Amino acid sequence: MKNLISRIGHYVDIGGDKFNPLDKLNHRIETRRPGEDIVRVGEKVDSVFVIESGWAIRFRILDDGRRQILNFMLPGDCFDMMAMVKAKSDHAVSAVTQVILRRISSSDFLSAMSQNASLATAFWWVGVQEEAILREQIIRIGRRSAKERVAHLLLELNRRLAAVEGRESDTINLPIPQALLADSLGLSIVHISRTLSKLRAAGYISTNPSGVDILDRKGMAEMADFDSHYLHLDKLKLSA
């Protein structure tokens, strides 16, 4: 929960450091191994989830096997807040790495929201941010070239991770195979590989087994037309 608190703490003051209103919430800690489902398609969702650690994806698989990843869920992200109205999920969520997550029943969540205005505001912000990320994803895959898409996504992940970890870093720990980048960006695996090597050749990044290093953030951001503003991280006080 620390992650979530550290994130929404940037937006709203949630009643002092020591006292965590979320702790009063009924919740259950669950874990998933890499590849395991968290929410299946068609499943009735009656809980809100918060990722404690690890990476997960929200995605949809078409009949012929094509897969589209809607977005990546990082530590501190929460999801299915919207689905609290007894709807069946139209997409699946599954763990990419080992994932620890917190499950809160929708009704508990709702009553907590209604009793604590600043908590509600904080989660509202999280929802605003999530919607912004979805919109940016549409623009990315709708109107950007492969090179721009990959660069843009890498920068987004970097910013989001920085927001969670509370510190700047040019190193992106990417615990995911290139296939996931492909299915997120609407490209083929092969082309992701080629595009990454172009980004390397251009001096924007270097890659290593555990992830990517950003060598020229400014140049890459300009090339990919990346503006971190949409993440609403403005007020983010990265710890000194």
Partner DNA sequence: CGCGGGTTTGAATGAGTTCAATCACGGTGG
Partner DNA sequence: CCACCGTGATTGAACTCATTCAAACCCGCG
β-sheet bridge partners, residue 30 = 101
209 binds a second copy (CB under 8 A): no
Which residues 219-238 are close enough to bind a second copy by CB under 8 A? 225, 229-230, 232
Residue 214 — φ and ψ, nearest 5°? -85, 120
The rounded distance, in Å, linking the Cα atoms of 77 and 79 is 7
Residue 28 or 60: the one with the smaller Cβ distance to a second copy is 60
β-sheet bridge partners, residue 211 = 173, 208
Which residues 105-164 are close enough to bind DNA by CB under 7 A? 145-147
Q: Cβ neighbours of residue 239 under 8 Å, at least 6 residues apart? A: 166, 167
211 binds a second copy (CB under 8 A): no
**In 3D, which of 98, 45, 48 has the Cα closest to residue 77?**
48
DSSP-based three-state secondary structure for 125: helix
CA dihedral 35, 200, 191, 212 (to 10 degrees): 10
**Amino acid symbol at 166:** G
Asked whether the CA dihedral 170, 176, 181, 182 is positive or negative, the reply is positive
CB 202 within 8 A of CB 193: no
- Binding partner selected for residue 209 from DNA, a second copy, none, CB under the kind-specific 5 to 8 Å limit: DNA
61 binds DNA (CB under 7 A): no
Query: Residue written as tokens 């924007």?
Result: 204
91 binds a second copy (CB under 8 A): yes
CB of 33 to DNA, least distance (A): 13
x/- map, 145-184, a second copy, by CB under 8 A = --------------------------------------x-
Query: Residue written as tokens 């919109």?
Result: 135
60 binds a second copy (CB under 8 A): yes
Residue 45 or 187: the one with the smaller Cβ distance to DNA is 187
x/- map, 175-214, DNA, by CB under 7 A = --xxx------xxxxxx-xx-xx---------x-x-----
Q: Which residues here bind a second copy, judged by CB under 8 A?
A: 60, 62-63, 66-68, 70, 82-85, 87, 90-91, 121, 124-125, 127-128, 131-132, 134-139, 141-144, 183, 185-186, 225, 229-230, 232
Q: Which residues here bind DNA, judged by CB under 7 A?
A: 145-147, 177-179, 186-191, 193-194, 196-197, 207, 209
